[in-house]
Structure 1
Amino acid sequence: MTTRAMGPIAGFGWLKQAINQGGGNPKAVFGGAGLLMLVALVPTLVQIVVQGGMGAVSATATVGLLGFSVLYSLLVMGPLFAGYLRLLHANESGAPVHATSIFQIFQAGQGAGRVIGVLLLVLVLGLLLFGAIALAFGGDFFAEMAVVMQALESAEPGEAPVIPALPSGTGTLFALLFIVGVFFNGVYSLALGQAALGRAGVGQSLADGLLGALKNLLPLLVLTVAVLLAGLIALFVLALGVALLMALGSFINPALGMVLAAPLYFAAMVALYVVMFGVIYAMWRDICGGGVDTAAGGGHEVAA
């Protein structure tokens, strides 16, 4: 599979294309994102039920909940992410598609196992990358960081905390984490795109993700900065809207304010899913998707 190197400005283009998603079939695009968000809430609901039934959650229960969340993310959400990318591709191609098409990934022969395998390899890669950073800085560095964090947590309200000096190399650590994080997100996005929309196997999908992210590290950095700036603006607008609705509703009843603000919050979360996966799709299409079979759509395999 040939991966392309894009110019730095491509990062802005990916975000712009993601914001414009849904023009062809908004009911399917936003409906699919809504379903995806609801399915993603299952681990949270399970945790609420367990905590409500047990009261104080034991360490064993906490580990069990964590394990369930990890497995659920890998075995359920991972394939659904791929299913939603296929929905976006079908929408862009003009193929008929509907919100529930995201679940077609679980049908026989639709590549759910391949997606899970790719995401498992990406997870291992992430552990190796960030583990290597931790080893490079050593245990003494993180012990000093822990002392600083403890000083911040133990500070009394209204009093200036006595904070020890940050260990040498803190700036380097944060810069390295930022760059590696950007690279890792690029690998994840492109490998997922290849597993969802291409015929590449597990190893080839990961290789394409690695090579594509290396070739496009600069546009990925530009994209990250653009997303951070756009996110701050969107968060400010959302907070302003929620505060206004809650203030208006509180004139009648405080609970009414929450009821009025809930649909706005839900709509914002759905829009976030659409933009997030729209960015992944736009990246994959520009970097890896030269040979896309535009006749394919929905939950069907897509040649790349």
Structure 2
Amino acid sequence: MSLPIRKVPLTHGAQWLMRAINLGRRNPRAIFGAALLLIAVLYLLMVVFTLPLQFGEAPDFETAVTTVALAALAAVLILPVLLGGLMHVIREAENGRPTRARDLFAPLRLHKALPLALLGLIQIALALICGSLLVWATGADYWPQYQEMVRGAITGRITTVPTAEQPALVALAQLLFYYFSTAVVLVSVPQIMFSGLGLSDAVKRSFGASLWNLGAYLFATMLFMLGAMIAGLMVSIAALVVAMLGAAVTPMLGHLLAWLLFAAYGTVFLVVMCGTCYYAWSDVFAEDGDAAATPAPAQHDRFEA
């Protein structure tokens, strides 16, 4: 039987993020290796789906959009499975159990892949609802103008940026979509992986938690995005510097060094994001004996990532 959803203070959002930043002390090879493997799988998926665009004649606009849309759909379906695997590695490592980077594929072994993949369909459904609201709020002429702007960007033509009839409603719809799609999908992942819930129950409870703990969720999201933007800016500057230094030797070396830096940033980004969601789940739902509560970090804890 599922335990009630806990109401946690707003400050717990900061605690989840701080604990996630300190992840990897017990088994960094497994945790960060799994995150890097996740990036590699998604990159390989994109390469496979876009191969038709890289050979033969240049595709027309519709073909290119269709191919990219299919690649995005595949990524949306497989990403929750991979995130579930990364949270599994995090959970095993943090509880002192042996785990390896290849345990990223644990959802396949544990028969959790299908319900996790279906979370992607939930996200698509939310996107369609948000899109319907946007069509209503932007007016009949907005989307044709937007498509023309995209075509112009692809072909190198400069076009006028369209404006919505009700920009405030557009911003509100996008904000609601990003919040609920992120909160419901990401917190449903550990619900399915660790709480033994089915898809519908996991989504319902995650949606309820996103309302009941709106303050803590938003606080954690705000801190995470702020940190990600600052770190991303610093990494971009560092990548530019190392690319210039490497290019002094050979252009290939410059590109390689910059790529390695961005790959490291993406790896840490995934670990902190999944760690924050994992600790949010363990704190709000407290359904597991070995992850029943999220203690406040001690005053002497340090940021180590």
> What TM-score range do you get, normalising by the shorter chain?
0.7 to 0.9
The CA deviation at 1:134 is: 2.6
Aligned to 2:204: 207
Aligned with residue 97 of structure 2, among 87, 95, 98: 95
Q: TM-score, normalised by structure 2?
A: 0.81
Aligned to 1:82: 84
Distance 1:163 1:237 in 2: 30
Aligned with residue 246 of structure 2, among 245, 249, 260: 249
What letter matches 1:71 in structure 2? A
Structure 1 consecutive aligned stretches of length 4 or more whose deviation exceeds 4 Å: 143-150, 161-164
Distance 1:105 1:248 in 2: 42
The answer to whether residue 66 in structure 2 is matched with residue 63 in structure 1 is yes
Distance 1:232 1:220 in 2: 18
Distance 2:165 2:75 in 1: 39
Note if contact 2:50-2:68 (Cα within 8 Å) is conserved in structure 1.
no
What letter matches 1:54 in structure 2? G
Aligned with residue 181 of structure 1, among 164, 178, 181: 178
Note if contact 1:85-1:197 (Cα within 8 Å) is conserved in structure 2.
no
Relative distance call for 1:73 and 1:134 in structure 2 (3 A) is closer
Aligned length: 286
The CA deviation at 1:177 is: 2.0
Distance 2:214 2:274 in 1: 19
The CA deviation at 1:256 is: 2.6
Query: Unmatched 5+ residue regions in structure 1?
Result: 296-304
The CA deviation at 1:26 is: 0.4
Distance 2:9 2:125 in 1: 29
What letter matches 2:186 in structure 1? S
Query: Which shows bigger deviation, 27-36 or 239-248?
Result: 239-248
> Percent same amino acid among aligned pairs?
23
Query: Which shows bigger deviation, 42-51 or 180-189?
Result: 42-51
Note if contact 1:190-1:284 (Cα within 8 Å) is conserved in structure 2.
yes
Relative distance call for 1:179 and 1:118 in structure 2 (3 A) is closer
What letter matches 2:100 in structure 1? H
Report Cα offsets for 1:8-60 as digits up to 9, x if no partner: 22222222222111111101000111111100112321245322212312434
Note if contact 1:189-1:284 (Cα within 8 Å) is conserved in structure 2.
no
Aligned to 1:19: 21
RMSD: 3.1
SS of the equivalent of 2:180 reads helix
Query: Which shows bigger deviation, 93-102 or 167-176?
Result: 167-176
Aligned to 1:30: 32
Report Cα offsets for 1:155-175 as digits up to 9, x if no partner: x99xxx9989x5553134213
Distance 1:219 1:244 in 2: 38
Aligned with residue 280 of structure 1, among 273, 277, 281: 277
